[in-house]
Amino acid sequence: MKHLFCFGLGYCAGVLSSRLKEQGWTISGTATTNDNASTIRRDGYQAFVFDGGTHDGTVAEALRSATHVLISIPPDGDGDPALNIYGADIALSPSIEWIGYYSSVSVYGDSKGEWVDEKTVPQPVTERGMRRLKAEQGWTELARANGKALVILRLPGIYGPGRSAIDQLRAGKARRIFKPGQVTNRVHVEDIATATGAAFQHTGGGVNIFNVTDDLPAPPQDVIAYGAEILGVPCPPATDPTDASLSPMARSFYAESKKVSNARMKNELGIKLAYPTYFEGLKAIAQS
């Protein structure tokens, strides 16, 4: 019996879990609030509340029967909460054969719009990127010390139903941020689930890293403009990334410009993206 335990059973992990449930997997995971945990239970999964700092014996018990563990929560100033609090339980679990970590392409830093791939030496320039790289290193140390298989999946901007340029435009909240020369990747949540499932083939120890991105690095403002075009609504005016109304987190995304290669993901995991570019992805969301 396969059992996936998700630290952070939210948007991305939820799509994957739905697929695995149909295949007969047992699914359990954490949420940050009781309300979110109740939502997880309504979906037919076992749920636990994890505040990022408190060890729960029932979580440790679940990890003793899990075969796969997916970490889908961000690190904070103290490091990765799941690693800090439950790393020892994961290391000692006799059943865990696979650990997956959702990281970020922010670990690469700023390549001035040039291509990066998994062989590129990480040089993060933002606090977010530095924290992600530190978390990657922590999970790598745990996996190697305990003979566990670890797959690090580096993600760019995530979009999908309910979280896309289409949804922002329909809600009147879209911002078309323009920075000359800025280029980024993105990935549809369904393609993240496909890549994660394909990465299950890497068991038996060892560490593997994959960039899980689309095929088309593009200026962020072009994505908003295309969404407006297919909806037939006015395109929001361009604004500068230093706009004071943007959150520090939003502004930090514009500190980096890079094109991220997904060649290794496609070649080694053997997957075909359902939404290879934002054109297909936004069209599907607009039509749904």
Whether residue 287 lies inside any domain: the answer is no
Q: Name the token pair of 176.
A: 């078309």
Whether residue 107 lies inside any domain: the answer is yes
Output Rg (C-alpha) for the chain, integer angstroms. Answer: 19
Whether residue 131 lies inside any domain: the answer is yes
**Residue 181 to residue 207: CA distance in whole angstroms:** 34
SS (H, E, C) 13-51: HHHHHHHHHHCCCEEEEEECCHHHHHHHHHCCCEEEECC
Q: What is the pTM of this model?
A: 0.96
State the virtual CA torsion across 217, 288, 227, 110 in degrees, nearest 10.
-30
- Whether pLDDT at 254 is above 90: no
Work out the number of other CB atoms within 10 angstroms of the CB of residue 107. 25
Whether residue 255 lies inside any domain: the answer is no
Among all chains, which residue has been given the structure tokens 């290391």? Answer: 91
Whether residue 286 lies inside any domain: the answer is no
Q: What are phi and psi of 5, to 5 degrees?
A: -110, 125
Q: What are phi and psi of 119, to 5 degrees?
A: -85, -10
CB 3 within 8 A of CB 67: yes
pLDDT band at 246 (very low <50, low <70, confident <90, very high): confident
Whether residue 8 lies inside any domain: the answer is yes
Whether residue 281 lies inside any domain: the answer is no
Q: What is the pLDDT of residue 244?
A: 63
**Residue 7 to residue 24: CA distance in whole angstroms:** 20
What pLDDT, in 10s, does the model give residues 201-237? 998 889 999 999 999 999 999 999 999 999 999 999 9
Beta bridge partners of 71: 7, 101
Q: β-pairing, 68-71 with 3-7?
A: parallel
What pLDDT, in 10s, does the model give residues 47-93? 999 999 999 999 999 999 999 999 999 999 999 999 999 999 999 99
Per DSSP, the chain holds a count of helices (H) and strands (E) of 11, 13
Q: Residue 130: which domain range?
A: 3-158+187-214+260-275
Candidates 224, 221, 220; CA nearest to 169 is: 224
Mean pLDDT of 25-30: 98
What pLDDT, in 10s, does the model give residues 93-149? 999 999 999 999 999 999 999 999 999 999 999 999 999 999 999 999 999 999 999
**Residue 209 to residue 136: CA distance in whole angstroms:** 10
Candidates 268, 258, 193, 174; CA nearest to 219 is: 258
Q: Residue 24 belongs to a domain with what CATH number? A: 3.40.50.720
Whether residue 237 lies inside any domain: the answer is no
Query: How many domains does one find in the chain?
Result: 1
What pLDDT, in 10s, does the model give residues 182-196? 999 999 999 999 999
